[in-house]
Structure 1
Amino acid sequence: MLPAEVYHHAVIVMRMKPGDQFEIVAADKKVTVMQLERVTDHAATARVCKKLEHTVELPLQVTIACGLSKKDKADWIVQKATELGAQHFVFFAGDYSIVKWDKNKQGKKLTRLNKIIKGASEQAHRVMVPTVSYFENIKKIPLEKYSEKMVAYEEAAKEGETAVLAQLVSRLKKQKETIAKQHLIAVFGPEGGISPAEVQYLRDNDFLLTGLGPRIMRAETAPMYLLSALSFSLELS
């Protein structure tokens, strides 16, 4: 018997019928091909056809930490970055953030982001659903679990810094045997960027100040640049 949520998506949304096949991700994070056998108005049964060994996750764990930006940019960031392989998202109220999430809205905001992430995970055939959390400021983000730390810093890009990201990727590529145990946190500012006080805090906590090429990108574009660069370097080259 299919769980109600799977039934709704397969039968109601996708209009599948007996004989149609679909994929689900089991608790062991393996993709299982299922075939519908019997469908009623409120339930359905399916059988296991085969299990697949999909390699769709980035070899490196990546947390994208973003200062809050205006409008629906958080929605866009989690959707596209999920498709590009990010495993965790952190949003924080930056010193230069124009918007704030008051306590009454935080739960609803996170619920919405989780829904978007789930949909994007299905679209990308991810075998794990990324997490998302919110912190009142950058200093509240726990940093102990990260083996690699970087911040996309606009001033570094303006000054022509081009080596830090390349050096980071080169170091990661040399760690093929242990790269799955590595965890990178990448911090991105809101529209106004990272404040001097935040930059100093990140420096004090061993973050690399990283330029992302000669062009200045929007707050929602920079995380996609990084994930694309990591995918190309660690998966395709």
Structure 2
Amino acid sequence: MQRYFVERIENDEVLLTGDDAHHIVKVMRMQPGDSMYCCANGKTALCTVAEITNEFVKAAVVQWVEESNELPVFVTIASGLPKGDKLELVVQKGTELGAAAFLPFQAKRSIVKWDSKKGDKKVERWTKIAKEAAEQSHRAVVPSVYAPVTFKELLAMSANYDICIVAYEEESKQGEQARFAGALERLQPGEKALLVFGPEGGLAEEEVTQLREANFIPCGLGPRILRTETAPLYALSAVSYHFELMR
């Protein structure tokens, strides 16, 4: 059944406009009485279409649905700005895997240089991708997608997390395999984790040194070296396995 994220549900009524209304009418071809899910503020309601106009679709709440589709921990993926559309892939698949937020940052080896004056459209696109992926994967919330920050800002923001991890390929090359699993053992349901991944060229040694000084745990992600767009998805899969499939 189709799912839509809305800003609010008031008096057991939902008003859908813009792209969502167009999708309901022109793509799904719904009629009054058809059912769908509407999500607002982390809560999900089963609704039926009550009214369709040229400007909006109004739906009525039939019942509130109890769901537990979210990861029990809040994981923010911090990616060193990669080339091309790789970050779009991370946002889309990372949303499906349960990430709570995406925080791009300007790494020393990032080939892409962020232009804040032209970046609003990119952030808007990433946010739209996250919303569509959350609908497809039946999540109750849409992950937050932040505009890229500097490395210094990333370090400052890390103080807001319970556990901070940096994936560092040199650790994998040296055979380190236990720290990531150990960090997940320490992480408790309801806590927040920040996972940092470098761009295509990896993180510079001085960046890793600063991350260590900020209490980040440097971890290998298995014996193979993963691409910048693959490593976050590997880590999220491991988090899901640890907190959901092993319980």
Note the 1:1-237 alignment, pairs <5 A.
2-5=15-18, 6-27=20-41, 29-141=42-154, 142-172=157-187, 175=188, 179-180=189-190, 182-237=191-246
Residue identity opposite 1:21 in structure 2: S
Deviations 1:104-158 (A, max 9, x none): 2221211111111111111112111111223442111212211100000000001
For residue 198 of structure 1, give the secondary structure of its aligned residue in structure 2: helix
In the superposition, the TM-score normalised over structure 1's length comes to 0.92
| Offset at residue 42 of structure 1 (A) | 3.8
Question: In structure 1, what is the Cα distance between the partners aligned to 2:105 and 2:53?
Answer: 46
Moved more, 11-20 or 35-44: 35-44
Question: In structure 2, what is the Cα distance between the partners aligned to 1:91 and 1:41?
Answer: 38
Deviations 1:178-197 (A, max 9, x none): x21x1100000000001011
Runs of 4+, deviation exceeding 4 Å: none
Contact 2:47/2:63, CA 8 A, preserved across alignment:
yes
Question: In structure 2, what is the Cα distance between the partners aligned to 1:162 and 1:14?
Answer: 47
| Offset at residue 4 of structure 1 (A) | 1.2
Question: In structure 1, what is the Cα distance between the partners aligned to 2:162 and 2:59?
Answer: 42
| Offset at residue 26 of structure 1 (A) | 2.6
Question: In structure 2, what is the Cα distance between the partners aligned to 1:99 and 1:41?
Answer: 42
For residue 45 of structure 2, give the secondary structure of its aligned residue in structure 1: strand
The sequence identity of aligned pairs, in percent, is 46
Deviations 1:33-73 (A, max 9, x none): 11113334444332211111110111000000000111101
Moved more, 43-52 or 202-211: 43-52
Residue identity opposite 1:232 in structure 2: Y
Question: In structure 2, what is the Cα distance between the partners aligned to 1:115 and 1:62?
Answer: 19
Long gaps (5+) in structure 1: none
Question: In structure 2, what is the Cα distance between the partners aligned to 1:107 and 1:199?
Answer: 29
Moved more, 47-56 or 225-234: 47-56
Question: In structure 2, what is the Cα distance between the partners aligned to 1:222 and 1:44?
Answer: 40
Question: In structure 2, what is the Cα distance between the partners aligned to 1:196 and 1:44?
Answer: 54
| Offset at residue 230 of structure 1 (A) | 0.5
For residue 224 of structure 1, give the secondary structure of its aligned residue in structure 2: helix
Residue identity opposite 1:17 in structure 2: Q
Question: In structure 2, what is the Cα distance between the partners aligned to 1:195 and 1:119?
Answer: 34
| Offset at residue 2 of structure 1 (A) | 2.5
Residue identity opposite 1:101 in structure 2: W
Question: In structure 2, what is the Cα distance between the partners aligned to 1:73 and 1:202?
Answer: 24
Contact 2:16/2:58, CA 8 A, preserved across alignment:
no
